[in-house]
Structure 1
Amino acid sequence: MRVPRISRTRYAAVGVVLATAGALALPAGTAVAAPTADSTTGPLMSYVVNTKANHGQVQKVEKAITGLGGTVVQSYEQVGVIVARSNDTKFAEKLRLAKGVDSVGASRTKGIQASDQGKAEVATESATTAAAPGEDPDEAYQWDMRQIGADKAHKISLGSRNVTVGVLDSGIDATHEDLAANVDASQSVSCIDGKTNTDWKAWQPTTSDHGTHVAGTIAAAKNGKGIVGVAPNVKLAAVKVVDDGGFIYPENAVCGFVWAGEHGFKVTNNSYFVDPWMFNCKTDKDQAAISDAVRKAVAFSQRKGVLNVAAAGNENLDLAHKTVDVASPDDTTPGSRPVTNDCLSLPTELPGVIAVSAVGSDGVKSYYSSYGKGVVSVTAPGGDRRFQFPNTPDKDGRIRSTIPGGKYGYMQGTSMATPHVAGVAALLASTFPWASPDELTEMLTSHAESVPCPTGEFNPGGAGTWKATCEGGADDNGFYGAGLVNAEKAVQWWR
């Protein structure tokens, strides 16, 4: 999401400016093998290779990769996914014929180059105000927390230190006054290039405010400084999957989900879609392999006890009735192509993932929020700067949260809705520590406040630009899923 257009949002945040197009850097020390005799040399490309999830099988496929002149970047034996590189234009075609290889897919449509430095996001800042008794200074601006009952929940519970929420994003500023106490460096990692790096600097934000903003909504501390998160006492883990160009490539996502499963996270927040395809179609060999790799990593994390929460997107698309994709591939030149419901947004549409739409301060679908009956699980405050204005000191309809450098700023999008849901899930996990991901999902949806479809045509602004059709009843519909998440109910044993 490097341009401020609502239809172009790999991050699920809108109204911000992100990095200009950049390519992925080759890790230092990575050797580029000489091409084989029958190869055609081209740009260095990255691939996800799927095989069976066992040591012996992975080793065989690694040998096949190197035998074709490729390089193994990292192998995830837990899920049977190998990240590989090659400058042979026929590499994928030849590797697909190797014994034990289930699928191979290029994880981007352009070659790997030195990464360009992008511009930082612009998040509108405003000064803090005097706090009411018992409140942090910026709580008056947090209409979103009151909308989901977080202020009432905090009188009962702030969450448990035994619960970790993984923020798969652009990194978290661990020095921020509202986050420092909750960011766990021992559970944080960079997954850029699909390779783990636990160095502190590696998982800090570089070109983006996005991850720090998301983190504050989940778990900014209740400490008399700035804002308060939904679950202000739980731990945060930064899992950096967004490179300096603003891309979340498949291998980064695979790394992030495997890390979450291996490190005991209870919840992950995923405010993005996996690049370079907005929708990955089974009929395309590359996209099918990408889907397989990410699906296996997500399923692994779920088996390890992780509930994954993801944004529905900001294109005002009906995900239950897909017809066209005009934004892919986003790492080169996007074109227009027909798509069907068999083409999936990753990780949002994978089994077991909680898909989140956005509402504004009036509790109505945000003009930009994508939706879909049977796709959206729940809804949460994401903000709406055009058509919905809260009763706050500055009447800003967006979401106020932490940004790097000890600052606070506003953003809006399903990116901002998703961490509200992740925070409520963290409160549920704190209240019910025995609960599995499926049980947390059941509690999350059953505790949600039903929101019926709008009466008549949904057409904010009247021009038809954001027109949408809501399908379903009050307890399950395309705009709001099971309804608006409720933090207060999440901390009450007797509900």
Structure 2
Amino acid sequence: MHHATRSKRLIVALSGAGLVAASMLTGPASASVAADEPTSTPVPIATPEGQLMSYIVNAKHANAGQTRLVESAVKAAGGEVVQSWPQIGVVVAHSTKADFRADVVELDSGHAVDSVGASRTAAVSEGTPGTGGATANGQLSVGGWLAGQDVTAAEAVTLDPREGEQWDMTQIKADKAHEITDGSSDVLVGVLDSGIDSTHPDLAPNVDLANSVNCTEAGRPDTAAGAAEPTTSAHGTHVAGTIAAARNGVGIVGVAPGVTMASVKVVNDDGYIYPEYAVCGFVWAAEHGMDVTNNSYYVDPFEFWCDDQPDQHAAKEAVRRAVTFSTKKGVVHAAAAGNAAYDLANKTTNTSSPNDGTAVNRTLNSTCHDIPTELDGVVTTSSITQAGTLSSFSNRGLGVIDVAAPGSAILSTVPGGYALFSGTSMASPHAAGVLALLKSTHPDATPAQLIDMLRAQATDTACSTTTRGAACVGPVEDNSYFGEGVIDALAAVS
């Protein structure tokens, strides 16, 4: 989400007690730095005594026994277990102890801790919810799914009032796809964002409230009535409209207007998506029958998370585990490439992170990634204009971008009406919508097969004139601006 509303911010002076040296933390980096590369610039996170901070503690193995051992180490070190995910061996903890990270390692009597790191540079603002040790039961809830709808050819398509303004749907041939099918309501798309306005007349028919959740309570799932509704941002509602605004004679129509959506709120009221929120969202999607997720954000507070920095590695590893787990459960993920006009294939420096404290002028290396968009199994989506050129703000990268989709001046739903937003945040939901159509027409396809189809069916698009940042490189079949091409909704249902 960093993004359209706050310009890829969507996107502390570090001294004194609580600074932890890399040698004091356990767990190997998931990727080593090449001999000819620099070490990324360290960003030590201060954890003063008495200040409530949030931490990610990863177990060496993803099982209940190892997770319980990690919980014991957390408690012995003076921390409180906020949420445990034994499915992936991840524990979210809070502590006011300056030396919590080092103490968790020292007091790990079961030798279960793989890595530990602070998940943000700022103090916890939401407090510690509930009591410690809450473990998700992993039960699949399907009570809120709408009645099944067969994928059949329609004899005629009746246009919604503002559908003629949706150039983006014409560009990806969604209008033609709708002559065949609007998608199946058996397909559930998780919108990991700032919440969906479930009362909006264009969205209400397709929102599954029973499978919606708020993950911003320190990373602990909150299913209270209204918890997954938007509070300070229209972003998630706009994204949801692009994916699946209903064909109901009102307003606009989404890419897949027949599919179902769940609101998975991962953006807090200050606009941050911390690692524990994202982990909660991906595991929730896996355990609640979702087929597709859309991720129009990068995980805060780092635009790029570097594996050779202990705090960043621990949080990045937790998100990676959550994405991998959900993929294995059958969920396919679309994500925004980012709005910094940056070449993701050639990272060198970054000046915007951490964005919840004092930013540092950082040197980057090949272990540094924008997450979740650069994680395995995630469709990285760049943004294009109505003219078909790369949007001036869009990130790019040879071998990084999978596909391109419309993202400039996109008309969609917002609480109380409709609005034009721009950003790769707006491109990604187009890809998520096409993935939902593919799942509708290929219900037994795996996430890898859906991604292969999406990429293969995309319209090859040759390099265009450089508008900002790095020049376009690569062949028409797969280049740094458009990846394997512009997504094609008609091909997905044909």
Q: TM-score range by the shorter chain?
A: 0.7 to 0.9
Indicate yes or no: 2:262 matched with 1:237. yes
Structure 1 equivalent of residue 480 of structure 2? 478
Structure 2 equivalent of residue 88 of structure 1? 97
What CA distance in whole angstroms lies between the structure 1 residues aligned with 2:304 and 2:341?
Answer: 15
Note the C-alpha offset of 1:201. 1.3
Structure 2 equivalent of residue 419 of structure 1? 429
Deviates more, 1:220-229 or 1:56-65: 56-65
Structure 2 equivalent of residue 202 of structure 1? 227
Structure 1 equivalent of residue 386 of structure 2? 361
**1:80-119 equivalences in 2 (<5 Å):** 80-97=89-106, 98=108, 99-113=111-125
Aligned residues: 425
Note the C-alpha offset of 1:282. 1.1
Structure 2 equivalent of residue 59 of structure 1? 68
Structure 2 equivalent of residue 46 of structure 1? 54
Structure 2 equivalent of residue 403 of structure 1? 414
What CA distance in whole angstroms lies between the structure 2 residues aligned with 1:5 and 1:265?
Answer: 28
Which residue identity is paired with 1:194?
G
Note the C-alpha offset of 1:212. 0.3
Deviations 1:190-230 (A, max 9, x none): 11110001112110000000000000000000111000000
Structure 1 equivalent of residue 190 of structure 2? 166
Note the C-alpha offset of 1:342. 1.4
Indicate yes or no: 2:163 matched with 1:152. no
Note the C-alpha offset of 1:94. 1.8
Note the C-alpha offset of 1:134. 2.4
What CA distance in whole angstroms lies between the structure 2 residues aligned with 1:217 and 1:403?
Answer: 11
Secondary structure of the equivalent of 1:102? Answer: strand
Indicate yes or no: 2:76 matched with 1:75. no
What CA distance in whole angstroms lies between the structure 2 residues aligned with 1:113 and 1:234?
Answer: 36
Which residue identity is paired with 1:9?
L
Q: 1:248 to 1:179 in 2, by over 3 A?
A: same
**1:195-274 equivalences in 2 (<5 Å):** 195-274=220-299
What CA distance in whole angstroms lies between the structure 1 residues aligned with 2:48 and 2:75?
Answer: 16
Contact 2:193-2:296 within 8 A present in 1 as well? yes
Structure 2 equivalent of residue 288 of structure 1? 313
Secondary structure of the equivalent of 1:410? Answer: strand
Contact 1:326-1:336 within 8 A present in 2 as well? yes
Contact 1:9-1:315 within 8 A present in 2 as well? no
Secondary structure of the equivalent of 2:226? Answer: helix
What CA distance in whole angstroms lies between the structure 1 residues aligned with 2:246 and 2:391?
Answer: 27
Secondary structure of the equivalent of 1:421? Answer: helix
What CA distance in whole angstroms lies between the structure 1 residues aligned with 2:398 and 2:3?
Answer: 29
What CA distance in whole angstroms lies between the structure 2 residues aligned with 1:111 and 1:40?
Answer: 10
Which residue identity is paired with 1:291?
K
What CA distance in whole angstroms lies between the structure 1 residues aligned with 2:332 and 2:3?
Answer: 29
Q: 1:488 aligns with which of 472, 487, 490?
A: 490
What CA distance in whole angstroms lies between the structure 1 residues aligned with 2:401 and 2:352?
Answer: 21
Which residue identity is paired with 2:114?
D
Cα RMSD (Å) of the superposition? 1.6
Structure 2 equivalent of residue 345 of structure 1? 370
Deviations 1:97-140 (A, max 9, x none): 4221000010100111359xxxxxxxxxxxxxxxxx92111112
**1:291-310 equivalences in 2 (<5 Å):** 291-310=316-335
What CA distance in whole angstroms lies between the structure 1 residues aligned with 2:53 and 2:469?
Answer: 40
Structure 2 equivalent of residue 181 of structure 1? 205
Q: Which blocks of at least 5 consecutive residues in structure 2 are unaligned?
A: 12-46, 128-156
What CA distance in whole angstroms lies between the structure 2 residues aligned with 1:375 and 1:73?
Answer: 35
Note the C-alpha offset of 1:297. 0.2
Which residue identity is paired with 2:205?
A
Deviations 1:332-378 (A, max 9, x none): 12121100121011101101110000000011100000000111100
Deviations 1:137-184 (A, max 9, x none): 111210000000000000000000110000000000000000001000
With the length of structure 1 as denominator, give the TM-score of the two structures.
0.84
What CA distance in whole angstroms lies between the structure 1 residues aligned with 2:10 and 2:437?
Answer: 29
Secondary structure of the equivalent of 1:429? Answer: helix
What CA distance in whole angstroms lies between the structure 1 residues aligned with 2:308 and 2:80?
Answer: 27
Which residue identity is paired with 1:112?
V
Structure 2 equivalent of residue 118 of structure 1? none
With the length of structure 2 as denominator, give the TM-score of the two structures.
0.84
Contact 1:8-1:315 within 8 A present in 2 as well? no
Q: Which blocks of at least 5 consecutive residues in structure 1 are unaligned?
A: 11-38, 116-132, 384-397, 460-465
